Amino acid sequence: MKRPIRWTVALTAALALFAGLVLLPFWLVLTGSVKAPAEIIARQPTMVPHSFTLDHYAKLLAASDYPVYMMNSLIVASVSTLITLLLAIPAGYAFFRMSFPGRETLYRAILLAYAFPSIVILIPLFGIFAKIGLIDSRIALVLVNVAFALPFAVWLLRSFFAGIPAEIEEAARLDGGSPFIVLRRIMIPLVAPGIAAVAVFAFVTAWTEYVFASVMILSDAKRTVPVGFSGIIGQYQIDWGLLLAGASLSILPVVVLFAFVGRWFVAGLTEGAVK
């Protein structure tokens, strides 16, 4: 369809506006992290850095606990993602494939988990974790993260499984595949985009989780980036360079994850199967 030129201009302008709203803060953080301290707090902000220094990064990695926080966050987020996937894939498949009493009700009910703000369950959960000795343990964070990511993950994966034509599964059954083999060899490769989406969702949720991490973790050595990092800020003064360098680095794992799973987001994976 041919579009009038004024529409093209208007759409491009609108797109640029929203892109700017999203991208400008990132730009300021990234460029700020390499500016000299005086330029960061200059009255007239500079869009393009006039000075260049890696001092903030050096200080962050050498003189603070940031590397420890980073490692904690990586462990917690990776393990949370892995467990979420290990549980959500069979659960999503079961919700799609098996018929059991109350399936539809349960399927609709799982999203109710998001009806409660995390703050509401924080105190009872703290009580439970205190009783079983999970306070100040990274396991507690993994449990919480998995519990929060799982309902959406199951819900999303079921709809991905439902998008696979029934004949493909039937053909695999006729070929002699056991349910586990059919899941592993046929179904999982076909829902790879869904799995990638769930992995990114679970990782980012865990990576950015603040409330539980700030309450459940007591010792500095077990803090994750969001909590530990906020400690860096307030200790004596706000070191803007350090803050911006830390913020820039904390984006890195998520960017790497996206780059890694991006190739799974291939449209039309089932194309050619039927019709």
Give residues in contact with other proteins (CB under 8 A). 165, 167-168, 170-177, 181, 185-186, 189-190, 268-275
State in angstroms the smallest separation of the CB of 266 from other proteins. Answer: 10
Are 78 and 203 spatial neighbours (Cβ–Cβ below 8 Å)?
Answer: yes
> Quick one: 59 or 173, whose CB is closer to other proteins?
173
| CA–CA separation, 163 and 190 (whole Å) | 9
Vertex 245 angle, CA 242 and 246, to 5°: 85
State in angstroms the smallest separation of the CB of 83 from other proteins. Answer: 26
Structure tokens at 233: 């800020």
Q: Looking only at Cα atoms, what is the longest distance across the chain? A: 73
> Quick one: 4 or 272, whose CB is closer to other proteins?
272
State in angstroms the smallest separation of the CB of 102 from other proteins. Answer: 18
State in angstroms the smallest separation of the CB of 220 from other proteins. Answer: 47
State in angstroms the smallest separation of the CB of 100 from other proteins. Answer: 17
> Quick one: 55 or 170, whose CB is closer to other proteins?
170
Rounded-to-5 percentages of helix, strand, coil across the chain: 75, 0, 25
Taking CA atoms, 133 is separated from 44, 125, 137, 143, 204, in Å, by 52, 12, 8, 13, 27
State in angstroms the smallest separation of the CB of 177 from other proteins. Answer: 5
> Quick one: 151 or 177, whose CB is closer to other proteins?
177
Angle between helices 240-261 and 192-208 (to 10 degrees): 160
> Quick one: 251 or 273, whose CB is closer to other proteins?
273
- How far the first Cα of the chain sits from its last, in Å, is 27
Structure tokens at 64: 């603070």
> Quick one: 38 or 267, whose CB is closer to other proteins?
267
80, with CB counted inside 10 A (0-12, 13-18, 19+), is buried
